[in-house]
Amino acid sequence: MGTKEERDLYRTSAEVFPMEEEPKYLQNLDSTNNGGSTDYYKLPEEAKDLQDLIEHKDMNFALGNIFKACYRLGECNHSDELRELYKIKWFIDREIKRLKRGTRWLEITYLQ
């Protein structure tokens, strides 16, 4: 369940960002990791731009927009950082709702 500090941090953040249950990423914090690079961080050789990475990871529309907005954060001339962060949050909230419903992204993408 994680260290006492991590649980305390979760409790503090839960007051600000209430969740229905403890996130799964906090459940395995005691596992060991040697700190080395893993395969999921390696870029595919054919990737030339962000869209290549989005397609390589099979990201849906919401995740692709989150990824692009995070990458360009602070560099966009037509929008300030706060607006971009709200945009990211909007897509994150939408993705959380989708996951809670248990809807596969292909159903959302192709049935709209």
The whole-number pLDDT of residue 1 equals 46
Q: How far is CA 19 from CA 8, 15, 16, 93, in A?
A: 15, 9, 10, 12
Enumerate the domain spans of the chain. Answer: 1-30, 48-112
Q: Look up tokens 């419903």; give the residue.
A: 101
Q: Look up tokens 């099979």; give the residue.
A: 58
The whole-number pLDDT of residue 20 equals 59
Three-state DSSP class for 47?
Answer: coil
The whole-number pLDDT of residue 103 equals 62
Q: Could you give phi then psi for residue 100, rounded to 5 degrees?
A: -65, -35
Give yes or no for a contact between 68 and 59, defined as CB atoms under 8 angstroms apart: no
The whole-number pLDDT of residue 57 equals 92
- From first to last of its 112 residues, what are the pLDDT tens digits of the chain? 456 665 555 555 545 555 556 566 556 555 566 666 778 788 889 999 999 999 999 999 999 999 999 999 999 888 899 999 999 999 999 999 999 888 655 555 555 4
